[in-house]
Amino acid sequence: PLQALVTMNDTQFVEASRFLAQRAMREAGDDFDRRLDYLTTRLLARDFDDSERTVARRTYEGLIDLYSADKAAARQLVDVGESAHDAGLPFDESAAWTMLASQLMNLDETLNK
């Protein structure tokens, strides 16, 4: 339990999640599935199956709704750490993808395999 608190809240982990999320946004284009594949390939060395993909999509949709409605929270999240947020990317999308990347980084499969 303590490990999860660190990996989801520590500045270095949040910043690493943001950096990975922004790379996915820039390199995989606007398509959700391509971005998700970008993240899962790098973190898990595999693509998600259909049920995992459905959960990830629902999670992302909830996050984008949250951060689209609260731009200040999105800005606060993407400003965590020393490196600057990519100004060419929308704050709400960056925040949503950052949180999804953070959740993927916190999977047992990511941490222990």
- Output the tens digit of pLDDT for each of the chain's 113 residues: 666 666 667 889 999 999 999 999 999 999 999 999 999 999 999 999 999 999 999 999 999 999 999 999 999 999 999 999 999 999 999 999 999 999 999 998 988 87
Q: What is the pTM of this model?
A: 0.92
- Alpha-helical regions (H) of 1-113: 2-9, 11-27, 32-44, 50-69, 71-78, 91-105, 108-112
Report the pLDDT value the prediction gives residue 111, as an integer from 0 to 100: 83
**Distance, CA of 81 to CA of 85 (rounded, Å):** 9
Report the pLDDT value the prediction gives residue 108, as an integer from 0 to 100: 87
Q: Which residues contact 66 (CB under 8 A, 6 or more apart)?
A: 73, 96
